[in-house]
Amino acid sequence: MKILVAIKRVIDANVRVRVRSDGAGVEMANVKMAMNPFCEIAVEEAVRLQEAGKAREIVAVSVGAGNCQDILRTALAIGADRAILVETDLETQPLGVAKTLRALAEREKPDLFMLGKQAVDDDNNQTGQMLAALLGWPQGTFASKVEPVDGRVNVMREIDGGLETVSLKLPAVITTDLRLNEPRYVKLPNIMKAKKKRLDIVKPVDLGVDLAPRLKIVKVAEPSKRKAGIKVESAQALVDKLRNEAKVI
């Protein structure tokens, strides 16, 4: 089984994000960047499948600026066999990325496409679903367990009511959730080996894809600060405040 894993470069999850003074976005200057945590889980799961003898090749792919090479090298250090960067200076949005990944899937012919369920910067949770629709492949989203069996893959997924297991015919698209696994610590020897692994760089035009943004951010603002709580003397007083002050009932 050949697996393609899509990854995204985002602000490190441990960094406090600050809104720019003009409200046009968040502050990116001199901010530590890293692989999206959900994407890292997808890479880890692909490597575990390979270690279990269920996968023959893992290809890490990313769409973005040239500095995305650092997260691709991280994926190679985790265990991916090679990497592809679709290099662009344009803002990447879910539909454009999904079309790019579809073009790569048509070129690479994978049996399985794995992605993080969402990126922690925009929280769109759209790319995996769009990719499955464009390819016409079955999809298993929010995966907490992945088990390939005889040309199919069983995916246990998290839903509001608990857990649901779906059986997908390969090729398929899977998006990974937090409970799927815990990514391994990358050791220095593997980081050094990753520098020698193959990393191809292509342009969107080579894939016949237009990545021009179709969405525009109007304004970014900090969430409003929560007011301190108060105590009430009775249930009637609580109902009165909910109705007349909070206006939620």
Q: What is the CATH number of the domain that holds 6?
A: 3.40.50.620
Above 90 in pLDDT, residue 245? no
Count of Cβ atoms closer than 10 Å to residue 107 Cβ: 12
Instruction: Give the number of other CB atoms < 10 A from CB of residue 104.
Output: 22
Does 228 fall in a domain? yes
28 assigned to some structural domain: yes
pLDDT value for 189: 95
Q: Is 14 exposed, middle or buried (CB count within 10 Å of its CB: 0-12, 13-18, 19+)?
A: exposed
Residue 63, pLDDT score: 97
Q: What proportions of the chain, in percent to the nearest 5, are helix, strand and coil?
A: 30, 25, 40
Closest CA to 171 of 207, 223, 217, 136: 136
Segment 33-54 shows an average pLDDT of 97
Render pLDDT for 110-144 as a digit per residue (tens, 0 to 9): 999 999 999 999 999 999 999 999 999 999 999 99
DSSP 13: T
Q: How many residues does the chain have?
A: 249
Task: Confirm whether 219 is domain-assigned.
Answer: yes
* Among the listed residues 148, 6, 127, the one whose alpha carbon sits nearest the alpha carbon of residue 71: 6
Strands 139-149 and 33-35: unpaired
**Portion of the chain with pLDDT greater than 90, in percent:** 80
| pLDDT on residue 222 | 87
What is the percentage of the chain residues whose pLDDT exceeds 70? 100
54, burial (CB in 10 Å: exposed 0-12, middle 13-18, buried 19+): middle
Q: Is the peptide bond before 204 cis (omega within 30 degrees of 0)?
A: no
What domain range is 174 assigned to? 2-244
pTM reported for the whole predicted model: 0.88
Give yes or no for a contact between 205 and 103, defined as CB atoms under 8 angstroms apart: no
**What element of type H or E holds 102?**
helix 94-108
Over residues 7-23, mean pLDDT:
91
Within-domain flag for 123: yes
CB 41 within 8 A of CB 183: yes
Tell me the average pLDDT of the chain.
94
Query: What is the number of structural domains in the chain?
Result: 1
Q: What integer is the mean pLDDT of 196-204?
A: 97
- Choose the weakest-confidence range: 94-108, 143-157, 160-174, 225-239: 225-239
141 part of a folded domain = yes
pLDDT at position 196 is 95
Residue 249 domain-assigned?
no
Cα pseudo-dihedral 184, 185, 187, 192, rounded to 10: 80
